[in-house]
Amino acid sequence: MTILSFGSAASTRAGSDTAHRLGRAGGQLPVRVVEIADPDDGGHLLVFGDPGDGCLVRVHSRCLYGESLGSDDCDCGAELRTAMDRIQAEGSGVLVYLEQEGRGAGLIWKARGYRESELSGADTFQAYERLGLPADTRRFAPAADALAELGLRRVRLLTNNPDKCRALTDAGIDVDPVPLTITLSSARGRRYLQAKRVHRHHTIPADDMVAGTRRRMWWWPGRRR
């Protein structure tokens, strides 16, 4: 097992000077922060405890509405909280927090996409296309490379997104996907989850309250051997 100790040479290169304790949910988590310096798909690794091979990892894109404003229309905030609860319960893991608001388009275009969706009835991906934008410009290769730099070769990835699984596998990391099941109460939120099922092949359980929903099983072909 690869252990990333605060006192090791690897941790010295990977943010040991940022090591501190985070108080959360009545507990304390040791954490260090490592920058991912990419101009388009950068962000930070938050390395909790002493994670080794097989640890929990969440690759997460910034979402102001879901994380800070408590939006009922997307699953981002709930996914982040659930991922952190699981990492905290195990005492170690890695949160990869990427500055990819609006699937890489930014907050202004995200808001324009919402407006287009309201006016036309298009889903979130179709709305971007109507505005002349790619449905999703995010790249997860920089995040995957940063995880590989930590020395991780096998992870349990908290995700419904096959693109994230693929990026880590391409970086030589053995991926065991751990789906996140989030229920949204608003009609727009339920339609958003359905759009992710249809357009991006996210493995989200079927919702009987959304017309045309069908259950998808995990397509991921298994971990690298």
Catalytic residue positions, numbered: 136, 138
How far apart CA 44 and CA 38 sit, in angstroms, is 10
Q: Is the dihedral of CA 8, 13, 14, 19 positive or negative?
A: positive
Q: Which residues 6+ apart lie within 8 Å of 214 measured at CB?
A: 206
Q: Which residues 6+ apart lie within 8 Å of 200 measured at CB?
A: 125, 135, 136, 161, 163
CB 95 within 8 A of CB 84: yes
